[in-house]
Amino acid sequence: MITVKDLTMRFGDVTVLNGISEQIEKGEKVVIIGPSGSGKSTFLRCLNLTEKPTAGSIVFDGQELTGLHDRELNLIRRRMGMVFQHFNLFPHLTIRRNITLAPVKLGILTKEQADDRASELLKRVGLADKADAYPAQLSGGQKQRIAIARSLAMNPEVMLFDEPTSALDPEMVGEVLELMKQLAEDGMTMVVVTHEMGFAREVASRILFMADGKIMEQNSPAEFFSNPKSPRLKDFLSKVL
Amino acid sequence: MGFLESFRQNFIEENRWQYLTDGLKTTLIITFFAVIIGMLLGFLVAIIRSTHLRTGKLLIPDLICRLYLTVIRGTPVVVQLLIIYFVIFASVPISKTFVAVIAFGINSGAYVAEIVRGGIMAVDIGQLEAGRSLGLNYRQTMISVIMPQALKTVLPALANEAIVLLKETSVAGYIAIADLTKGGDIIRSQTFSAFMPLIAVAVIYLVMVVLLTKLVNLLERRLASNDHR
Ligand SMILES: Nc1ncnc2c1ncn2[C@@H]1O[C@H](COP(=O)(O)OP(=O)(O)OP(=O)(O)O)[C@@H](O)[C@H]1O
Ligand SMILES: [Mg+2]
């Protein structure tokens, strides 16, 4: 579904991604872990060209993205949901409007259809009673569930998560991870940057370990945790587990 | 000469009060249309500049905008007014009020631009990224996501800029426009008494500014009370 080849990203003369090649299949749940500053966010943000890579190629559903014009990229981005660490809900809009804004503006749904869809999604994320609230009135966990609903409103084929629970109070992490598990069970293709090792172990079809702008090691969850090979990963796991 | 006598001489005699009312009308007309031009120009410049800062596009328009900002903010408004009247429109028979509207509008636009640009840049970059990640294009994201938030934060500052402009138009007399200030000055030159007409002019400005400032404060409180952030 997504094929990354020799992906390189430099900010000035700092190389943040150092020639990454990776393949993500439809239905896979790829979890990315690694130390701070290793380039996880940058890698994820390159996948939908939020960040424009310095070199390399990203092929999504047979289409090379790096050379595309904005207009074509916008069409691609509709098909790739993105969930941010800090939610990035639109504070001036109600929850319903947060969810319906893009489908309506882009002419995918009529306002009525979008409202129905929003109600359906709100039920799915367990926040049916919050349709007319504003983001500021919600807890962090609720905000993130709305952000996920907002992404889902576009019917994405893949969802990118950048540390979706890192900004949450501990008691709210569970509700968001639970929703993500549901998504995974429903067959969504997911790429998740996270520090939640339990989630990785339980949900991932594959775990990638990033360090120094490279994917150092990858494996199935069982092998990944029980049988790490590189010293860097052993060291990392000894710190986080 | 007593207070009442002086008052009569300066304002009642020969209907001199009309210098003030006519002047006030001119001042308000110039301010009103200059504010509109300033807002239009300011928003345009702000959007060009912030678009360049955020996306790297619009390099040449951005350069032009920066030149405009530097020149306008680096020179006195009176000098701009004089140049626009005596140099740019020198050979064009044109209403002075119109020239003043253009001059003050162009001047105000520079300050509006910086206020609005500040408001746009103050909106978290994550808002733009969220909008774009949903497939909205830059323009759609600006219109539906960024500008409503930016506008709300800059509205009080914009209103204050309009109030500042009201006072700044008092130099319109330099191109012989009979605005409020000039009106008072004309009375002074006729009656040879400075106190009454000039204090009257000052009081009229002061009352307008105080009232408008009250309105802005009210607006500010209204905005804060339905703040969803
Ligand atoms: N826009 C940018 N300009 C300059 N440097 C950047 C930019 N974005 C990221 N970097 C740098 O790139 C490196 C990798 O950043 P990235 O955010 O991808 O790391 P990360 O693995 O997600 O870390 P974390 O776990 O802290 O989120 C960091 O050193 C960061 O400072
Ligand atoms: Mg990160």
**Token duo for residue B141:** 């994201």
pLDDT score recorded for residue A240: 87
Report the residue of chain A nearest B134, measured CA to CA.
A78
Does A105 contact B144 at a Cβ distance shorter than 8 Å?
yes
Mean per-residue pLDDT, B133-147:
97
User: How many angstroms separate the Cα of B63 from the Cα of each of A17, B52, B58?
Assistant: 33, 10, 9
Predicted confidence at residue B224, as pLDDT, reads 83
**Average per-residue pLDDT in chain B?**
95
Judged by a CB distance cut-off of 8 A, whether residue A240 touches chain B is no
Q: Is the CB of A40 under 6 A from ligand 1?
A: yes
Q: Is A195 on the interface with B (CB under 8 A)?
A: no
CA distance B136 to chain A (A): 6
**B130, B135, B140 ranked by CB distance to A84: nearest:** B130
- Give every residue of chain A whose pLDDT is below 70, as ranges: none
Residue A75 touches chain B, beta carbons under 8 Å: yes
| B152:A92 CB<8 A | yes
Q: Is the pLDDT of residue B229 over 70?
A: no
Question: In chain B, what residues touch A91 (CB-CB under 8 Å)?
Answer: 149, 228-229
Indicate whether residue A189 lines ligand 1 (CB < 6 A): no
CB of A100 closer than 6 angstroms to any ligand 1 atom: no
Q: Are residues B135 and A101, on separate chains, in Cβ contact within 8 Å?
A: no
- Its ipTM equals 0.95
Q: For B143-157, what is the mean pLDDT?
A: 95
- Ligand 2 centroid to Cα of residue A65, in Å, is 22
Tell which residue, A215, A183, A211, A228, has the closest CA to residue A38.
A211
- The pLDDT tens digits for A159-168 are 999 999 999 9
| Fold category of B3-227 in CATH | MetI-like fold (1.10.3720)
**Site from A42, A94, A105, A144 to mutate, B interface, most B CB atoms within 10 angstroms:** A105
Of all ligands present, the nearest one to the C-alpha of A39 is 1
Helices A111-124 & A95-105 angle (0-180, nearest 10): 130
Helices (H) and strands (E) in chain A, counts: 9, 10
Contact B138 A70 (CB under 8 A): yes
The pTM score is 0.92
Placement of tokens 């950048």 in the chain: A162
Q: Is A28 in contact with A207 (CB distance < 8 Å)?
A: no
Q: What is the mean pLDDT of residues B164-184?
A: 96
Chain B hits for A100, CB-CB cut-off 8 Å, are: none
- Interface A-B, measured as beta-carbon pairs within 8 A, has a size of 71
Give the pLDDT confidence score for residue B225 in this predicted structure.
Answer: 80
Q: Is A39 in the pocket of ligand 1 (CB under 6 A)?
A: yes
The residue extents of the domains of chain B are 3-227
Task: State yes or no: pLDDT of B56 exceeds 80.
Answer: yes
- Chain A partners within 8 Å of B142 (Cβ): none
Binary contact (A77, B127; C-beta < 8 A): no
User: Do residue B133 and residue A92 have CB atoms under 8 angstroms apart?
Assistant: no
Q: In what order do the strands lie in the sheet with A214-219?
A: A80-83, A158-162, A189-193, A29-33, A206-211, A214-219
Q: For chain B, where are the E strands, in sequence order? A: none
Residue B101 CA, chain-centre distance (Å), reads 10
User: Structure tokens of A240?
Assistant: 């986080």
Rounded distance between C-alpha atoms, residue B15 and residue B196, angstroms: 15
Put simply, the answer to whether B135 touches A84 (Cβ < 8 Å) is no
Ligand nearest to the CA of B125: 1
Instruction: Please state, in angstroms and rounded to a whole number, the distance separating the CA atoms of residues B158 and A6.
Output: 49
Q: Is A110 within 8 Å of chain B by CB?
A: no
What span, in angstroms and rounded, lies between the C-alpha atoms of A206 and A204? 5
How do strand A63-64 and strand A80-83 relate by DSSP bridges?
Answer: unpaired
